[in-house]
Structure 1
Amino acid sequence: MRRLLLGGTAAVALLSSSAFAGGVPEPVMTPDVIETKTSSSSGGVIVPLLLLLVVVAAVASSGGGDGGTVSASDARIKTDIAWLRMGKHGLPIYRYRYKGMPEVFEGVMAQDVANIRPDALVRWPNGLLAVDYGRLGMAMQRVA
């Protein structure tokens, strides 16, 4: 009887232990799904407006060539930029295109003008930089 009692007690102890029963179940955590939206409400309007601004500035500056024109000259709106030579006031002259436009121009970068002749720099309300070529005594030229 004693054996039966000990055997029964051992069996009950084994069956009720967490090791035999599989232990405490791991908590199941569901991942939080976070949705991010990357669209901007003004994204579809800004780019065409900037391009329109660039076209107007380029047309105005390429007409007279007298150097009295304020032209969009921010490096952020230019592409295919190639250094050509040093010009007046120690400003580098570049050949470039405006993003989204096929015409090729020669002129300065507003960022260079900011360092050498800040008096000829114009900051437009949209944050872009422009150059008053009249103050520099030179003109941006359309070459192709």
Structure 2
Amino acid sequence: MSLQVGKAIYNILSNDARVIDSVGHKIYPLIADTGTTFPFIVYRRTSIEPSDSKDRFIYSEDTYVEVVIASDKYNESIEIADLVKNALQGKKGNYSGINIHDIRMTNADEDYIEDTFIQNLTFNIKTNGRTSN
């Protein structure tokens, strides 16, 4: 079920040694914990687009997820963004009960807010719309 795709994102990122070497286990849904130190990652689902068949059966869904890398150093933010992209791009398989057909980065932008360098990566995640156990 694509509403739960955050579980898969967390699973993939928290099991990637290079990502963990860079941010530890500071990977959060929606908002970082109070007092979190740089660098860290936040992810959030931004939209879901179901694909129906003629008989209205949802056979696949495109879920869009934004992954935000925050750091107090610009170079560190883009290096971690590359690691996140490499960890997610092209993934297929079952992660935390979510059947992932493919993950593709569709957009990337950056910002500087309150002494923080921000890298925003948007991913399209194709699922079958169902959860498997």
TM-score above 0.5, yes or no: no
Query: Which one has more relative contact order, counting CA pairs under 8 Å at least 6 apart?
Result: 2
With structure 2 as the length reference, what TM-score do the two structures score? 0.28
Going by fraction, where is strand more abundant, 1 or 2? 2
Larger radius of gyration: 1
Q: Which has the higher helix share?
A: 1
